[in-house]
Chain A
Amino acid sequence: MRKTVIPFGPQHPVLPEPIHLKLTVEDERITEAIPNLGYVHRGLERLADVRDFHQMIQVVERVCGICSVIHALCYCQGVEEIMGVEVPPRARYLRVMWSELHRIQSHLLWLGLFSDSFGFESLFMQFWRVRERIMDISEATTGNRVIVSVNVIGGVRRNPDPEQLRWVLSQLEWVEEEVRRLENTMLEDYTVKKRTVGKGVLTRQQVYELGAVGPVLRGSGVAQDARQTGYAAYGELHFEPIVEIDGDCYARSKVRFRETLASIDLIRRAVNRMPEGEIRVKLKGVKPPKGETVSRVEQPRGELLYYLKGCGEKTLDRVRIRTPTFANIPPLLVMLPGHYLSDVPVVTLSIDPCISCTER
């Protein structure tokens, strides 16, 4: 049959960020997809040469706008490991709280965008309305809505008082109630299921071999989550990964939906167990980082990896960032062939592409 090549992106109504997929189509069915990246490359890793290792916190936060606090946490964790700095317990619990707030807002954003990808715009509005409350919590506790600049090497910068923490919990109750109200629509609705069930199926073996991470991996039945390593205070909060077995777009959205609720639960546990005390250790007398390390955390999209190398100077030698979307593009290329052209937006969005993350 005659082949046609159709470009998908870099500008497309469902894509929040530019990625170009060259789709080879045979009678509306896709036979091959070739990605093309590089539209938003900013060269942030290179900035490590000119900014000192404290200033790099603000730089790595800008790798991804949606999960800025988790990038900064991963970076700080790595530098602390090289320098041998012990973070106070309260700071570790606060880091968990802010990480999980960011995970909730990122998942709610994705659930909205995903419903928009199959044309369910009122559901999109409902999710983003709930998300706004999370942004308010971020603003009240850290000082900014998205790029919160709250992590520093040796701890955190803000210390919410008990009254503010109670307010956070009361706001989260509202969020949980609203999210649960949307559960029936997102997971049971006929039109939603029609567009997502059986689309972009990956088996357990495939995701493992292709090196998928995050909800793509867990949606296919592999219980792997970097939070199981117990970084920050996750080791003390009895964290368990959320797994679905179907491996299609529906399973992935279900993983994200259930993770949103699980994150609310994690914040509750973290706040209730939060110890009193210092939030930041002083770095007087500690020498600049000398050595190398690999730091891993779980982003909303999957596992994030930082390789850091310092040679005892104010600037780091090397900052290498491996973001989850980068790992999830090969699985996407396996998912697409065999589908109709009209399913491409849904399947592409199901990996939660964060392109500015990928290209740094």
Chain B
Amino acid sequence: MFKMTPNIMRNLVVKKSTRMYPAQVRPTFDKVRGELINDIESCILCGTCAVKCPSQCIAVDKKVYTWTYDPFACVYCGVCVDTCPVKCLSQKTQYRPPTGERLIITLQGQPRKKDKTKDKGSEKETPPDQEMEKDASAETPEP
């Protein structure tokens, strides 16, 4: 009848199973696939990540040298990081913090020149509706 009682008594003395998030945050493990980062200075804008991505959250425009990434469509599988030929993509061990607004990251790259001096990539937030339209047009039409 009282099979659970020893467990209950034990639970009175052991420490809590839950932690008081966000005051206490669990440390992450080494190889967790979190936030995706592109080091745009070394990016050659080859578009491999955009082709390989299973959720099609990356778009590369080779004419205006932009690398566009939709973190809300990303599934954090890490395929882009594995296939990147110059290893400019990496993932942090932390996840992206929650937000209420849809965010689309556009990074401005530079044309490939051998004697090029380093230029800064800029991270900017673009209005969501504008980007949504762009994404819709970039998608391949379904048969």
Contacts and interface: CB of A to CB of B under 8 A. Distances in A.
Interface of A: 49-51, 54-59, 122-123, 125-126, 129, 132, 136, 139-140, 143-144, 147, 149, 157-158, 181-182, 184-185, 188-190
Given A122-B4, A132-B17, A190-B1, 7 more contacts: A54-B79, A140-B30, A144-B33, A149-B77, A158-B31, A182-B7, A185-B7
Measured as residues with beta carbon below 8 angstroms from the partner, the interface class of chain B is 20 to 34
A131 to B, nearest CB: 11
Contacts, number: 60
B12 interface: no
A38 to B, nearest CB: 22
8 contacts: A55-B53, A129-B17, A132-B17, A143-B33, A147-B75, A181-B7, A189-B1, A190-B1
Tell me if A's interface is mostly helix, strand, loop or mixed: helix
Given A122-B8, A144-B32, A185 B3 contact: yes
B108 to A, nearest CB: 28
Contacts of B17: 125, 129, 132
B133 interface: no
B142 interface: yes
A182 B33 CA distance: 33
B14 to A, nearest CB: 10
A51 B17 CA distance: 42
Contacts of B8: 122
B52 A55 contact: yes
A58 B75 contact: yes
A188 B79 contact: no
Nearest to B28: A139
Interface in B1-51: 1, 3-4, 7-8, 17, 29-33
Contacts of B1: 189-190
B78 A143 contact: yes
B32 A189 contact: no
Contacts of A158: 31
B143 A49 contact: yes
A149 B8 CA distance: 38
B82 A157 contact: yes
Contact of B32 (A122, A139, A147, A157): A139
B140 interface: yes
Contacts of B31: 140, 143, 158
Contact of A189 (B4, B33, B52, B142): B4
B60 to A, nearest CB: 17
B54 A51 contact: yes
B65 interface: no
B126 interface: no
Contact of B3 (A49, A50, A59, A189): A189
A59 B75 CA distance: 10
A313 B123 CA distance: 38
Contacts of A132: 17
Given A54-B52, A55-B54, A58-B55, A140 B29 contact: yes
Contacts of B33: 143-144, 149
A284 to B, nearest CB: 14
Nearest to A51: B54
A231 to B, nearest CB: 24
Nearest to B34: A143
Contacts of B82: 157
A139 B31 CA distance: 8
